[in-house]
Amino acid sequence: MNKTVILVAGPTAVGKTATAIRIAQMLGTDIISADSRQCYREISIGTAKPSAEELAAVRHYFIDSHSIATEVNAAMYEELAMGYAAEVFSRHNTVVLTGGTGLYIRAFLEGMDDMPPYLRISAKPSAQVSPAMAWPGCRRSSGKRPRILCGRRDPEPSPPRACAGDLRNHRAIHYRLPD
């Protein structure tokens, strides 16, 4: 028989969990969470995790499964979720995948490309790290908020582009691909 994944997706607090539980109970199957925050044991506020009663009603995977000290990313989620699905499919023909983290849903449904290795320059933000240590051709722009102007690292010349947002600036300064 064919194996089926039923996806219940949407933003926080719209009833995904209750819907997923009803579907899983009707089909006699389990639920795999596709939420990037509900996997952390130490984070409960603001994550809309299933209640103890909901967790008891249907077996859930990827809820309270990791410590906040453990790195979890979409590529790791794909591997974990595929393993969970194989386990569920060994007992059932259907699994319910539910959550609101679009990248995790996409990782499960479409897979993730292999990521190249990276060179970690600094794990902490530091004023001592200069843009020159990041991408070749990067320089700070003038202005109240620091921005990094980055050229692409491929052989074709391209005009510099602005790396938008503080998080991207941090990544541009602190991480770079090896040469």
Structure tokens at 46: 């603001």
For the segment 139-153, what is each residue's pLDDT rounded down to a tens digit?
Answer: 444 444 444 444 444
CA separation for the pair 31, 20 (Å, rounded): 7
For the segment 107-156, what is each residue's pLDDT rounded down to a tens digit?
Answer: 999 998 876 665 555 555 544 444 444 444 444 444 444 444 444 444 44
Give the long-range contacts of residues 35-38, CB within 8 A, separation 24 or more.
Answer: 35/62, 35/99, 35/100, 35/101, 35/104, 36/72, 36/77, 36/101, 36/103, 36/104, 37/101, 38/62, 38/63, 38/64, 38/99
Please list the residues that pair with 94 across neighbouring strands: 4
CA-based angle 152:172:40, to the nearest 5?
A: 130
Task: Name the amino acid, one letter, at 56.
Answer: A
SS3 assignment, position 52: helix
Q: Tens-digit pLDDT profile for the chain (179 aa)?
A: 799 999 999 987 799 999 999 999 999 999 999 999 999 999 988 888 999 999 999 999 999 999 999 989 999 999 999 999 999 999 999 999 999 999 999 999 999 887 666 555 555 554 444 444 444 444 444 444 444 444 444 444 444 444 444 455 555 544 444 54
Record the pTM: 0.66
Mean pLDDT, rounded, of the chain? 77
Give the closest residue to 134 by CA, choosing from 74, 146, 75, 143: 146
